[in-house]
Amino acid sequence: MRTTLAQLEMLTAELNKLLNRPLKPYEKDNGKLTAQIGNFHLYKAYGAFGLHEMANEGGGIRQTISLGTKKELYTALHKLIQGVELATA
């Protein structure tokens, strides 16, 4: 089965909800974009996909899951979500 971008976005949203994190990396506040610290979001580079976490108000990030195929990221996100569920059970 082919892994889609929509599936990756759904898992990322689920991770943010499980951890009570902001659902979007940026919010518009008085016409200015403000970084939402703690938000997990997808990124794409060189045809591969990964996961970043918003780290500071300036838009700095932490690389949580490094670049790979969509299928690799899908698997890693599932394992990360399972770990969160185990830790919070």
For position 52, what pLDDT does the model report? Answer: 98
Looking at the DSSP bridge assignments, the partners of residue 33 are 28
Percentage of the chain surpassing pLDDT 70? 100
For position 37, what pLDDT does the model report? Answer: 97
Q: Return the ∠ at Cα 63 (arms to 58 and 67), rounded to 5°.
A: 130
For position 1, what pLDDT does the model report? Answer: 85
The set of residues, in sequence order, having a beta carbon less than 8 Å from that of 12 and lying 6+ positions away, is 40, 41, 42, 51, 77
Helix (H, G, I), strand (E, B) or coil at 74: helix
Report pLDDT digits (tens) over 50-78.
999 999 999 999 999 999 999 999 999 99
